[in-house]
Amino acid sequence: MKLLTRDRFDEMLCLLHDDGYLTLGPTVRDGAVVPREITTTDELPIGWRDEHEPGHYRLLPSDTPDLFGCVLTAQPWKAQLFPPERTLFSVTRKNGKLAFTASPPDTTRRALVGVRPCELRAIEVQDAILRDGPYADDEYTSRRAGTFAVVVNCTRAASTCFCTSQSSGPRAKAGYDLALTELLADGPHRFTVEAGSPAGEALLERLVLGDATGADREAVETGCAHAAAQITRRLKSAGLPEALKANHEHPRWNEVAARCLNCGNCTQVCPTCFCVAVEDQPDLAGIEATRSRRWDSCFNPAHSYVAGGVIRNNTRSRYRQWLTHKLATWHDQFGHSGCVGCGRCIAWCPVGIDIIEEANAIRQKA
């Protein structure tokens, strides 16, 4: 474990930039924290705190100097690896013939600075599907190969967090290139740094950092334990997949459907959802056309359109599909849960539907 002082953080960003990485980090845009390109620490959300409640998100001023005082970005980091929209190919008609041109994968190298442990776990979940699965996505695979992940361990939790239930936080265990923990108390503003890959070790060697002290190590443990103690939401996973799959006609589905707006916010902010739709867009002259892929949602009625009809034709069936897949049948497909406990779906639901409350209600009254 090494020690990086606050005044040398920009040096780390410069090294990543010199290595050809597009450096991305949390920034404040339009009243929310979102991942965007950064070149210096001045662009990080210094002096802000994020507030999360069911159906509620706010940025509030803070007088503390932390670089990563905000717990979560409003948008998931998955957009950097699995873009919301992508042109798959274009086609041109000339002299009665069609010429197809495939869109090459994006090979930009990206350094994701400030990823939280739950988001890092979400990237691992998507790796299993979009990179390592039987139907690998070339765009995701290309972007993921050029990714350098700088995770920041959590010393503060939002009220909607439940990563401890999903074993995805508040401290990262693996999958990162560098893991930082921001420390403010009992000394100067500093970060402990741990390498988790050869690329991370190489960067640390170039930074030439001193070793963290025993007090610094203890501060890391204390800070992460403090974040864990702040997490009061609990998703009881034992027996949950079986309970959800065995209760398709549970009256609770009707109760939540009466509140759900079918807006799809939960799927758009979820860091693991990967449903897409494909669209063809011809020009008016019939000379050129493109085929594009964009994020879709299982709350969109057209998403279940098959053989001339919509399979899930009401809110009840669509919410049941989303919750059951995320917490139950995802285990059958991929061997683990599709939820990492970030709590975004709770905060960004306009009516404050709580995934934990709904899942626990199904099991308790099964």
Query: Tens digits of per-residue pLDDT, 259-294?
Result: 999 999 999 999 999 999 999 999 998 899 999 999
Q: Tell me, what's the pLDDT at 308?
A: 81
How crowded is the C-beta side of 249, counted as CA atoms within 13 Å? 0
Residue with tokens 């308790």: 364
Nearest residue to 279 (alpha-carbon basis) of 83, 81, 86, 78:
86
Using alpha carbons, list the distances in angstroms from residue 357 to 5, 222, 236, 261.
Answer: 42, 30, 10, 17
Nearest residue to 264 (alpha-carbon basis) of 344, 337, 361, 341:
344
Q: Is residue 365's pLDDT more than 70?
A: no
Evaluate if pTM is beyond 0.95.
Answer: no
Nearest residue to 101 (alpha-carbon basis) of 88, 115, 85, 114:
88
Share of the chain above pLDDT 90, in %: 90
Q: Is the dihedral of CA 276, 280, 283, 287 positive or negative?
A: positive
Q: Tell me, what's the pLDDT at 237?
A: 86
pLDDT (tens digit per residue) in 212-242: 999 999 999 999 999 999 999 999 888 899 9
Helix (H) or strand (E) holding 117: helix 117-126
pLDDT (tens digit per residue) in 118-127: 999 999 999 9
